[in-house]
Structures are given as structure tokens and as C-alpha cells.
Amino acid sequence: MTSGAQASATGRQASLEGTVQPGATVQPEATVQPGATVLPRLLSASGRPADLAEHLRVHGRLLYRGGARMLIHSIESAGLTGRGGAAFPTHRKLTAVADQLGVPVVVGNGAEGEPASDKDKTLLWSSPHLVLDGLQLAAEAVGARRVHLYLHREPALVRHLESALAGRAAAGLDRLQVGLVTAPARFLAGEESALASRVGGGAALPRFTPPRVFEHGVDGAPTLVQNVETLAQLGLISRYGPAWFRAVGTEAEPGSMLTTIRLADGSGGVAEAAIGTPISQLLKLDRYPARAVLVGGYHGAWLSPEQAGRLTLSNADLRPLGAAAGAGVLAALPVDRCGLVESARVVRYLALESAGQCGPCLNGLPRIAASLNQLAQRRSTPADRDDVQRWSALVERRGACHHPDGTVRFLRSALAVFTDEVTLHEAGRCSARSPEPFLPIPAGSPAREEDWS
């Protein structure tokens, strides 16, 4: 999904009527005022992509701070955290990179390897200049002299960014020229060590850490990797200040975040929501009941409808259940689908997306996927369930990257939330009425070395 028309906006207190239908135009054009709680902040309010003229009319030129580190204090007061999944405090990463000896490289991460997420592509389509402002400001903050934008390999999106960059060059906005690097459509392509390898000219394969990317990343230089949404937020905070940023969200997790929403009726889109918005509201669970809710994408976790009904989109609510807001994926599984069949499809996809570099990932994930498939196909016994659990424990924390851990988290939540269904399947039955696949799984798994670059 690259069309800006798919991006829709969400009012914070609004009932979210019609907010996530593709193509919906929602809010009247609104200029963001300091202290305003109006959303969207990040996505273009008109629903059309904001070109440079519109960007400058709404937000004005970007304001360089005139030296390294000067912006970091505002970012700290704002309490901005990374929007790429881990919610790591952005000011700490900026400081860590600025403290390194070498001259840093800054990379905006728009790989969006997660198939269930569209928010980075939508943001880059809708508000490229906010992201590019953030990239320049982050580079100034850490004293970088080289910046890249790493983005999902999609010709229309790449052209869109190329023309945005050309417009900025003509207007003399950018101090550093931005190099565009395309990411292969691999689940792991956005993992930061894979990103560093790809930006350095290699394949998008995770490598063994430490050293971490912030110490030793692209071509060995200290590297700041920041999700594109994080950069866009930085572009806004630099203009409107920390207090404005904190006007929405919760005290512990301030601000708004982009979410990719899939309602149980099959519709969906990208919406900007205040952190702390009830999940049931975002997914309209009272109108479209769900069998279960997936939060955080394919490295995320399933929640039962009861859990989803009482929780908000925030790590404070989700972490105690082993889930996380992650990169903002929320999917409501329709009641007529089988959660085990869906989970088996996802785990199979994740196994095939393993880079095959570490033994536990290479040998373990395929076995887990095959066992889960047995279960989904109603050909298994309770002993298979034990096998899945045993293999899961064997691969956990044994990879060079987080892939086995994320996969195991997803799988365990499936077995916990769909436990009744597991019992039914072991008895040779299934409660689902529709065999139609629900969660998006990209066609084509990697088979050649070129598929990784």
C-alpha cells in the first residue's frame, strides 16, 4: 500500500467513525498549533501527500540548532521513543552515537519488513518532508556527515522520495545530501545490523553483535539507525517543542503513534492514534467482534478479545502480558477464522525468512513451523504440542538477532490464546467456518543470494 489516500487520520477523542476506511478523507485541513491535541500530526491532514510547498506552508522551514547535541535535550523532555518496534528512548541513542569517537552515519529506517505493517510506507508517501527534516536534524544532533534513507524497495515510493529530495535541494533546505538505499522485501531487512550491512553495500543479513551498530555500523562508523516515524516526530518536536508533543499520549508514553489497523470486517488502513487509546476503540470491537487480536505484528502477540477489550495501545498495558505496541500493528481476527491456521501460516513465513545463519534458527524454526502446521491441519497429538514448546525453548536467545525470540513469542501467545482450539484440533475438529486466509503473507520466500540485497 503506497497510496496516500490509504492513509487516514484519527481524532484522539473522536469516536473514530469511518477513520480507517481506505480512501476516507477525515479531518478538515488543520494547521497544528502549539499545545494542540489535534491528530493527525504526522500524516498529511488533507489525505493527499504533502508536497514541499504544502509542507512549508503548514510547518515552515526546518530550524537547525547550530551545533551537535543541542536538540537532544528537547527530545529527552518530550520523552520520544523509537517507533521501529523496541520503543527505546531516542535521546539515549542520540547521546550514545554522539559520544562515539568516529564521525557518525545516520540512517532513516523505512524498510518496513513487517508484512502486516504499512505505516512507514504510508508516512513516507504522505509526509516525506517531515521525515527528511528529521533526518537532517538527527544528523546535526550527532555530528554526522553522511546520511541515508533506507526504504522499502518499491519503485513508485523510491521515485516519490527522489523527487522530494530534488525539491529540497532546489530550495536549499538540506545541509547533507541524502543517499537513498533500497531494502529487499525481507522480514529481517530492517533489523539494524542487516540495515548497516546493506547500506554499506552488502546483503541485508543480520550480523553477530556486539559490537552494536551505534558503535560499529555502516562501513565501521558509529551509526544512528532511527525509524522514519521517529524522525518525523523529531521534525515536529524541533518545531513545536516537548510540551506540545506531550499534549497527547500518556505521562509515561507521550505522543501519538502510527498504527496499521485491520478490522475484523476485512477493511483497514493506517491511522495515527494517541498512545493510550483503547484497543477496542481502534479496532471497533463492539461493532466488529473478533476471535482474537494481534498486536505488534509477527514478532508480536495474540490477545484474547477480553484482554484486548480492557487494554489500551501502550506498553504499560501490553508488556505485563508479554505483548508490546511494537510498530503499531493491530489486527482483529474475524470470528469465523481459525487462529491456529493463521498462526501456522505466519510461523511458516517467519521460518522461511530466517537468514539461515545460526544453527538454532536454521534447524529449530522449520521444525516448529512443521509441528504447528500439523496442529493446524488437525493431524497432531498432545505430544506435538510439547515438541513445539521444547523446540521453542531451544531456539530462544540463541540467534545472532532477535528473530527466533520474536517468532517464539508469537507462537507461545497463539498456543495460549487459542488453547481451546488446540484441544479441538487434537480431537480432529476445528471451529472455524471460513478457510480464507486473513493475515497478509507476502508471496515468494528467499531462495537466492540476490533476494537479500
Ligand X SMILES: Cc1cc2nc3c(=O)[nH]c(=O)nc-3n(C[C@H](O)[C@H](O)[C@H](O)COP(=O)(O)O)c2cc1C
Q: Which does 111 bind (CB under 5 to 8 A by kind): ligand X, ligand SF4, other proteins, none?
A: ligand X
Q: With contacts defined by CB under 8 A, how many residues of the chain interact with other proteins? A: 30
Gap between the Cα atoms of 437 and 374, Å rounded? 17
Q: Which does 238 bind (CB under 5 to 8 A by kind): ligand SF4, other proteins, ligand X, none?
A: none
C-beta of 102 vs 356, nearer to other proteins: 356
Stretch that binds other proteins, among 136-144, 256-264, 314-322, 380-388 (CB under 8 A): 380-388
Q: Which does 192 bind (CB under 5 to 8 A by kind): ligand X, ligand SF4, other proteins, none?
A: ligand X
356 binds ligand SF4 (CB under 6 A): yes
* All residues at 6 or more sequence positions from 450 whose CB lies less than 8 Å from its CB, including other chains: none
- Cell reading at 371: 509441528
Q: Which does 443 bind (CB under 5 to 8 A by kind): other proteins, ligand SF4, ligand X, none?
A: none
Candidates 111, 144, 351, 414; binder of other proteins (CB under 8 A) is 351
Candidates 13, 34, 35, 86; binder of ligand X (CB under 6 A) is 86
Q: Which does 230 bind (CB under 5 to 8 A by kind): other proteins, ligand SF4, ligand X, none?
A: ligand X
Within 10 angstroms of residue 417's Cβ, the number of other Cβ atoms is: 22
Residue 361: helix, strand or coil by DSSP? Answer: helix
Gap between the Cα atoms of 260 and 233, Å rounded? 17
- Cell reading at 222: 558509529
Q: Which does 381 bind (CB under 5 to 8 A by kind): other proteins, ligand SF4, ligand X, none?
A: other proteins
- 128 preceded by a cis bond (ω within 30 of 0): no
- Cell reading at 380: 497432531
Nearest 5°: CA angle at 259, between 253 and 264? 125
401 binds ligand SF4 (CB under 6 A): yes
C-beta of 113 vs 334, nearer to ligand X: 113
399 binds ligand X (CB under 6 A): no
C-beta of 121 vs 168, nearer to ligand X: 121
Stretch that binds ligand SF4, among 13-21, 147-155, 374-382, 400-408 (CB under 6 A): 400-408
Q: Beta-strand (E) ranges in 170-308?
A: 178-183, 223-227, 256-262, 268-274, 290-295, 301-303
Q: Which does 83 bind (CB under 5 to 8 A by kind): ligand SF4, ligand X, other proteins, none?
A: ligand X
C-beta of 75 vs 375, nearer to ligand X: 75
191 binds ligand X (CB under 6 A): yes
Residue 120: helix, strand or coil by DSSP? Answer: helix
Cα distances from 104 to residues 80, 214, 232, 371, in angstroms, run 21, 8, 20, 45
User: At closest approach, how far in Å is the CB of 365 from ligand X?
Assistant: 13
The DSSP symbol for 315 reads H
Decide: 389 and 338 in contact? Cβ < 8 Å.
no
Within 10 angstroms of residue 63's Cβ, the number of other Cβ atoms is: 12
Gap between the Cα atoms of 224 and 96, Å rounded? 9
Cα distances from 285 to residues 293, 296, 321, 330, in angstroms, run 10, 17, 20, 12
Residues within the interface to other proteins (CB under 8 A): 348, 351-352, 354-357, 362-363, 365-367, 369-371, 373-374, 379-381, 383-384, 387, 445-449, 451-452
Residues within the interface to ligand X (CB under 6 A): 82-86, 88, 109, 111-114, 188, 190-192, 225-227, 230, 401-403
